[in-house]
């Protein structure tokens, strides 16, 4: 779950004048690392939060999905607001919102309070993630930009990789509230740093597509709500059917609106490009399978096998840390073999990893039985991340890069929310309970479905153009 890439502009005069490159990197990367870290940090803390708040399975989903849906809905809008009001201004406002929401989340005593806090956190992260790279690129000289962006990318990947480990250590050493309190001093430092080290650049001042934002945000929210409520309310109940139908109608209305509005949130003409369209379908199904399965597996390690949050974080390191090594290697290989082959191999390995989990998952399964699955999934993820981003932009015009990348980030986040909601619905529908004895038999079919979705994604990847990455 990552942010979006905006158009990289020439450095401003102030950037050329006096801003040290290390200061610009820290100012742009620190808030981004904070927002990235909060994705998987939260996942590893869910069992502890459940015990403390007495949260249901449905509420556990919303702790994650409230952040994801808010983040996905506002990514493209925040980029447009940055163009109009100043990217640094929107960036700093995003940091402030994220920091205040973190403090509120830490003080939450009821499940609904934490869900609200997470939704506001996602709103702040949506302003931080897409603008951090643009601000960094505009702060350094052209000949040093590649170095700065490389470091920025490494820090972003580190946030994802260390999320379960840091979350486990903090929850075990202190409490689940501490994962949110950690953001407060970071935010306090990051705001003056950004104001002093980053230029306030502007872009094209087009009218904000508020109608499009509301249609797509409420549409996806309705779909996820219907899936989450399906087992408890009944799949044939008026509540579930009406919200699913409403979600579908809102998304159809969104497409119709985007086709006619002069300043669309999502230019539909981008989907005429085969590489872009296929890459977004892959992004949706990839996130659906992987992150839906992670939601199930993290809790299996703690609830069923009795591992501490820190132990669970260490056990998942082959999965979360492998992309840090594999992704750069994939970048070196891609010009020779093309992105399509890497993406197909990566998705296949992830599918094998989840099938492996489904086959060996028992209450007394030893770690060595699960280790190959973690490795397959981690290596596969590393082979998909960078090549998929390349495929999204491969044949795009430079002026469309920001919208194209933002769209892909939005689609992937929607995939995360739908994956968690759907696989958990399968878990609950199979009689799953958050107990050591009522978990495994229901978790296996959920993981199996995630593996099948990834296998389908690998088949879809054959539709990508076969050109080499160097042609992009």
User: What local confidence, expressed as pLDDT, does residue 18 receive?
Assistant: 59
Asked, for residue 202, whether it belongs to a domain, the answer is no
| CA–CA gap between residue 69 and residue 259 (Å, rounded) | 23
412 within 8 A of 1, measured Cβ to Cβ: yes
* Conformation bin of residue 338: beta by default, left when phi > 0, alpha when psi is -120 to 50: left
Asked, for residue 186, whether it belongs to a domain, the answer is yes
Same domain for 67 and 98? yes
Looking at 139, 165, 196, the residue that finishes a domain is: 196
Looking at 148, 163, 196, the residue that finishes a domain is: 196
Same domain for 172 and 253? no
446 within 8 A of 57, measured Cβ to Cβ: no
**C-alpha dihedral, 261 to 200 to 408 to 155, nearest 10°:** -170
222 within 8 A of 244, measured Cβ to Cβ: yes
Same domain for 233 and 308? no
Looking at 222, 245, 262, the residue that finishes a domain is: 262
Same domain for 298 and 240? no
Count of structural domains, the chain: 3
463 within 8 A of 282, measured Cβ to Cβ: no
User: What local confidence, expressed as pLDDT, does residue 468 receive?
Assistant: 52
Go through 441-470 and write b for each residue having 16 or more CB atoms within 10 A of its CB, e for each that does not: bbbbbbbbbbbebbbbbbebbeebbeeebe
Helices (H), 54-182: 57-85, 87-106, 111-137, 142-173, 178-181
Same domain for 245 and 346? no
- Kindly report the CATH number assigned to the domain that includes residue 21: 1.20.1250.20
Asked, for residue 287, whether it belongs to a domain, the answer is yes
User: What local confidence, expressed as pLDDT, does residue 381 receive?
Assistant: 86
Asked, for residue 456, whether it belongs to a domain, the answer is yes
Same domain for 458 and 342? yes
Of 464, 333, 321, 308, residue with least CA distance to 392: 464
Same domain for 225 and 323? no
pTM: 0.81
Q: Is the dihedral of CA 373, 378, 381, 383 positive or negative?
A: negative
275 within 8 A of 392, measured Cβ to Cβ: yes
Asked, for residue 204, whether it belongs to a domain, the answer is no
| CA–CA gap between residue 130 and residue 450 (Å, rounded) | 28
Same domain for 233 and 356? no
Same domain for 365 and 337? yes
Same domain for 188 and 235? no
| CA–CA gap between residue 359 and residue 36 (Å, rounded) | 31
Calculate helix-pair angle for 367-393, 317-337, nearest 10 degrees. Answer: 40
Same domain for 189 and 160? yes
Distances from the Cα of 236 to the Cαs of 134, 419, 420, 457, in angstroms?
47, 21, 21, 29
Same domain for 52 and 74? yes
| CA–CA gap between residue 113 and residue 111 (Å, rounded) | 5
Structure tokens at 238: 């008026």
Asked, for residue 1, whether it belongs to a domain, the answer is no
Backbone angles phi, psi at 62, to 5 degrees: -70, -25
User: What local confidence, expressed as pLDDT, does residue 17 receive?
Assistant: 47
Maximum distance among all Cα pairs of the chain, rounded to whole angstroms: 65
* Conformation bin of residue 281: beta by default, left when phi > 0, alpha when psi is -120 to 50: alpha
Residues 6+ apart with CB under 8 A from 267: 258, 400, 403
Asked, for residue 94, whether it belongs to a domain, the answer is yes
Q: Is the dihedral of CA 168, 169, 175, 176 positive or negative?
A: negative
293 within 8 A of 319, measured Cβ to Cβ: no
Q: Would you give the DSSP letter of residue 10?
A: P
Instruction: Please report which helix (H) or strand (E) contains residue 35, including its range.
Output: helix 21-53
401 within 8 A of 288, measured Cβ to Cβ: no
Of 61, 176, 190, 170, residue with least CA distance to 125: 190
Give the residue numbers spanning the domain of 228.
209-262
pLDDT in tens, 55-91: 888 888 888 888 888 888 888 788 778 878 888 999 9
Asked, for residue 203, whether it belongs to a domain, the answer is no
- The list of the chain residues with pLDDT below 70 reads 1-19, 39, 145-147, 149-150, 153-154, 157, 160-161, 204, 398-402, 467-472
């Amino acid at each position: 779950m990552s942010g979006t890439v905006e158009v990289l502009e020439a450095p401003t005069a102030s950037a050329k004048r006096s801003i040290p490159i290390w200061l610009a990197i820290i100012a742009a990367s620190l808030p981004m690392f904070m927002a990235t870290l909060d994705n998987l940090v939260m996942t590893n803390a869910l069992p502890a939060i459940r015990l403390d708040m007495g949260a249901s399975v449905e509420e556990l989903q919303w702790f994650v999905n409230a952040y994801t849906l808010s983040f996905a809905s506002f990514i493209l809008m925040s980029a447009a607001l940055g163009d109009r009001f100043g990217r640094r201004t929107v960036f700093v406002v995003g940091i402030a919102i994220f920091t205040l929401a973190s403090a509120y989340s830490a003080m939450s005593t009821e499940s609904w309070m934490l869900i609200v806090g997470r939704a506001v956190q996602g709103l702040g992260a949506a302003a931080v993630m897409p603008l951090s790279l643009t601000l960094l690129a505009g702060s350094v000289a052209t000949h040093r930009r590649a170095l700065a962006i490389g470091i920025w990318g490494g820090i972003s990947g580190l946030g994802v990789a260390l999320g379960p480990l840091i979350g486990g250590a903090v929850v075990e050493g202190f409490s689940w509230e501490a994962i949110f309190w950690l953001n407060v001093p970071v935010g306090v430092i990051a705001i003056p740093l950004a104001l002093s080290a980053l230029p306030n650049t502007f872009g094209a001042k087009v009218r904000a597509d508020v109608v499009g934002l509301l249609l797509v945000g409420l549409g996806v929210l309705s779909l996820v709500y219907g899936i989450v409520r399906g087992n408890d309310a009944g799949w044939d109940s008026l509540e579930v059917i009406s919200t699913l139908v409403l979600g579908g109608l809102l998304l159809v209305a969104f497409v119709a609106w985007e086709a006619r509005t002069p300043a669309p949130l999502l230019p539909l003409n981008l989907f005429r490009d085969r590489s872009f369209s296929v890459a977004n379908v892959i992004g949706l199904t990839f996130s659906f399978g992987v992150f839906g399965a992670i939601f199930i597996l993290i809790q299996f390690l703690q609830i069923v096998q009795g591992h501490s949050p820190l132990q669970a974080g260490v056990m998942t390191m082959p999965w979360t840390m492998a992309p840090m090594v594999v992704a750069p290697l994939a970048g070196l290989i891609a010009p020779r073999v093309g992105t399509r082959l890497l993406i197909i191999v990566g998705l296949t390995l992830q599918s094998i990893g989840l099938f492996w989990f489904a086959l060996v998952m028992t209450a007394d399964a030893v770690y060595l039985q699960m280790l190959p699955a973690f490795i397959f999934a981690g290596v596969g993820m590393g082979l998909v991340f960078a090549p998929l981003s390349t495929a999204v932009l491969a044949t795009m015009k430079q002026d469309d890069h920001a919208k194209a990348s933002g769209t892909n980030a939005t689609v992937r986040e929607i995939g995360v929310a739908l994956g968690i909601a759907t696989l958990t619905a399968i878990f609950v529908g199979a009689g799953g309970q958050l107990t050591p004895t009522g978990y495994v038999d229901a978790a296996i079919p959920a993981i199996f479905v995630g593996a099948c979705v990834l296998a389908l994604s690998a088949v879809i990847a054959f539709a990508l153009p076969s050109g080499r990455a160097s042609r992009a």
